Structure 1
Amino acid sequence: MDLGLTVGDSLERLEATAEGFDFVELSIGESSLRPAEADDERLREVLDGLGADLCVHLPFDQVVSTPVSQLNDAIVDYQSELLEWASGVGARKAVLHGTMRNPHDTDQRPVFASQLSAIAAAGDDVGVEVVVENVGHQARGLPLSVLGDIARDTGTAVCFDVGHAYMEDGDDGIERFLDDYRDLVSHLHVHDARGRGDTHLPLGAGEIDFGLVSDALAGFDGTVAVEVFTDDVPLLRDSARRAAEGFDGTQ
């Protein structure tokens, strides 16, 4: 298991907070770091200095599919360009939000599956593993079980966001998803949450039973990204310690 840190779109934040982590997850594209404006050499220097690998998060604002075929083609083209750039700077994985224009339109779900397959194939072509993330608590996010079924049908790996799953369906949702789809999980986002709406909290500050995750994913050999929204390094390291101890069975 490799333990990493999400750093948003800031190279400064990456350099200031990511020491001691195996990898960083950098947000790219729309509303984030735009590769055309990025100093690739600077990014490589910072990663080399930290001894960290790179993962990326594809655009948050961009849905995977719409009812308009021309827009869908453009989405695949745009994501493919980002994946090619990510490959060029050494990224291992790319996180993609599982979103569509209307996630409750069951007739459009095959379109989402086709789009997901095309984006994942573009990643395969350049050596970057695309992992689709559950965001069912958001307006455009596919529900947990629907996302799991589509990921299985398309052979796409999953980024399981523990806090998002809790916000969608509590500890029961976490447990059910991992019971049914644990074999698809290649990447994890870990942060704590509270049912009142607080999320991306340090581990231990919320209500999630993380034992459900460590028990279901015993022996997990993928990547785990701490996604806590703070630049407080001691808090980040404490969350990383708690995550590591949970998977080691010592917590």
Structure 2
Amino acid sequence: MTATRNERGRPRLRDNPRMTDIRVLIADDQAAVREGLALLLDTMSGVTVVGQAADGLEAAELAAELTPDVVLMDLNMPRADGIEATSRVLAENPEIRVVVLTTYEDDKSIVGALRAGALGYLTKAATRADIERAVKAAAAGQAILDPAVQRQLLAAATAAPAAQAAPAAGAAPARSVLEPPGDDLSPREADVLRLIAAGHSNREIAKKLFVGEATVKSHINRIFTKTGCRDRAQAVQYAFTHGYAEPAN
């Protein structure tokens, strides 16, 4: 592996990865975290670190320059946070997959990252195996959520609003966040959505439902149309916020 230095003197890792390697860009404002992740990822078969960014704007710039397969994105960074950086990265190149790796697991951070287009969301309590699985799943277009994040989304979806007890005078009655969404999903489409939320690939869904992958893709396209989701990450969020998915154990 060789390394060059950017205008700020920080190393940008560059390598000559095999064509089959998953090329990863790391974005984190803490040098020790970036370097530790780079060392960790370099121990993984089929994964190559191609760059490091110390803030959100640099992450977007390097993603445009290096076109990695996956960006491991922190949320709390200077100049542009991870949510804004994710939006910038995907606006420039929607084929890049973003996996958030952060200490934050609050509703605002999770939903903001997923809405920005992140395909995975891990907390920094994730193990090496968790990170490897998330990177490889993201590269394959599969959404991966930390179990704690899944529970948080479900808790937010099932919690009754505090104002539900007595609506203000003249106000419309409070609606439950799990009220049927009116998306008109068929039973089979609902099954597919549940399996997407569980992190299964199209091939795995096809095997579980005893149908072809082309049929699964057709179901997913109809799910996206009916729910307004543009990708699997949004479909995962939709599944949790509309009662289609259950938390991980």
Q: Structure 1 length normalisation: TM-score?
A: 0.36
Q: Which has the larger radius of gyration?
A: 2
Tell me which of the two structures has the higher relative contact order, counting C-alpha pairs closer than 8 angstroms and 6 or more residues apart: 1
